[in-house]
Structure 1
Amino acid sequence: MLVPGKIQHIICTGNLCIKIVVYMFSRSSIWPCLVTELQRHLEYVAPNLCYMIVEVHDYFKTLCPDLHITRGEYDEDSRYPENKTLTIGQFKLGICHGHQVIPWGDLDSLAMVQRQLDVDILVTGHTHQFKAYKHEGGVVINPGSATGAYSSFTYDVNPSFVLMDIDGLRVVVYVYELIDGEVKVDKIDFKKTATASAH
């Protein structure tokens, strides 16, 4: 629920790829950090998925009722859209899995999707590797994969997820990434100008 004057918290899990859930969770010791952040009264959760299973969907709903999911290339459940837009505070966010962006992970192609969705922040995935760019007056974020699922690109994936704090015209992006057995947290600050709007 959007409360005026309150910082809005959004978790972006990236690609979960949870058909093989036991392997992924045991591989990724970043999972406790994700659960801790989810339990801190988050307003939104936005996973980009390859394979969603009912138990995980229901679990996320118990932690955060405002759950926004987009369909990955292997998801058969048609209730999840290919992409989704939502407004949180002064920011318009777009979410898409990323398999439909060619070439995968290409910044110019992602900027085109950002313009098509008319959003300030595009959250995308598919590569399972964290990336964040300030580009053309907006932000493109790939949270990676909270489960550390390997991808078509590489088996060497650092589990990661993103926490965004939106406060007025400012968004602070915290990146949680498991590197060499330790959870590292980096911060990216983005301020939207008062006259700037979505593209």
Structure 2
Amino acid sequence: MLILAIGDLHIPERAVDIPHKFKKLLQPTGKIQQVLCLGNVTNSQSTLEFLKSLSLDFQMVKGDLDQDYNLPLSLVFNHDKLKVGLVNGFQIVPKADPLSLLSQARLMDVDILIYGSTHKVEAYTLDGRFFVNPGSATGAFSTSKMDQEDVDTVEAYLAEVNGKKRQGDETKEEKKEEKKDANGKEKDQNGDMKEEEQPENSEPEKPVEIGEYMDPVPSFCLLDIQGSVCTLYLYTLIDGEVKVDKLTYRKDEQE
């Protein structure tokens, strides 16, 4: 059973369309047996029709910005030996909190809970259950604040990047000093004094700000369910290239 999990597109309010490379991958070939949409499409009928064309079995829950009030807030499906739950996630408080998601999975009595709303792709196992967030298929920005773990990770990375930039600027200055004579004038490659000094850009490189790393990357997931095993494929679009990560969840049938 091959299932597509996709959502939080926010077209056209926050994004123009699903990335072209994703659309090339997601063609109606008949291989995808079910499409699970997490909502927030939000006002693009053509996008909705495209998602519906990918499978004869299209299911969708309501996102916080969807205007169709007839959409359910949650859905549960039985696939082989696994039960799969679907929620947008806006009703989870605190948002995307693992213990709150675990409570939701227990309430729905599911082995796999697919959720969204954060626009952050992730997958993990907790208390024998599998939690999957396919992120935003368009990379639409999120109005949610970054959690502290993300802030700490990004700040540590930026400190390293900006530290290397500062070190590079200092090295450039040292080399320029080495080229100067006792009177502070620059020399040419032969050690002779330059007749005319060429203007150089002495501006140091600007440090990278944390805001440049807050926008999500486009992503979606495919779940291949066989018996009590789910093989998850995480698709992300980074620097124009599609990256695929693979994870496997196996239900403990002794429960």
Which band: TM-score by shorter chain? 0.7 to 0.9
1:120-131 to 2 correspondence within 5 Å?
120-131=111-122
Identify which range, 167-176 or 50-59, moves more after superposition. 50-59
**Cα shift readout 1:110-160 (whole Å, capped 9, x = no counterpart):** 111111111000000000010111011110111001111111137511100
Aligned to 1:4: none
Q: How many residues align?
A: 186
Q: Is the 8 A contact 2:2 2:33 kept in 1?
A: yes
SS, match of residue 23 in structure 1: coil
More moved, 47-56 vs 168-177: 47-56
Q: Which residue of 2 aligns with 1:47?
A: 37
- 2:238 aligns to what? 179
Do the aligned partners of residues 91 and 129 (structure 1) sit closer, same or farther apart at CA in structure 2, a change above 3 Å counting? same
Residue 59 of structure 2 aligns to a residue whose secondary structure is coil
Where in structure 2 are there 5+ consecutive unaligned residues?
146-213
Say whether the 8 Å CA contact 1:31–1:147 is kept in structure 2: no
Q: Which amino acid aligns with 1:47?
A: C
TM-score (norm 2): 0.68
Larger RCO (alpha carbons 8 Å, 6+ apart): 1
Matched, 1:156 2:146: no
Q: CA RMSD in A?
A: 1.9
Q: Which residue of 1 aligns with 2:9?
A: 16
Look up the equivalent residue of 2:12 and give its one-letter code.
Answer: K
Cα distance change, pair 100–151 in 1 and its aligned pair in 2 (3 A): same
Structure 1 residues 30-179: aligned runs within 5 Å? 30-36=21-27, 39-50=29-40, 51=42, 53-153=44-144, 155-179=214-238
Greater gyration radius: 2
Contact 1:13-1:47 at 8 Å conserved across structures: yes
Deviation at 1:40, TM superposition (A): 4.7
For residues 157-191 of structure 1, give each alpha carbon's deviation from its aligned partner in whole angstroms, at most 9, with x where no partner exists: 11000000001111100000112222110000011
**C-alpha contact (below 8 Å) 2:135/2:219 kept by paired residues:** yes
Counterpart residue number, 2:206: none
Given the two structures, how large is their TM-score scaled by the length of structure 1? Answer: 0.86
Name the CA distance, whole Å, in 1 between partners of 2:17 and 2:46. Answer: 15
Query: In percent, how many aligned pairs have the same letter?
Result: 34
Structure 1: gaps spanning 5 or more residues = 1-7
Is the contact between residue 115 and residue 134 of structure 2 (CA under 8 Å) also seen in structure 1?
yes
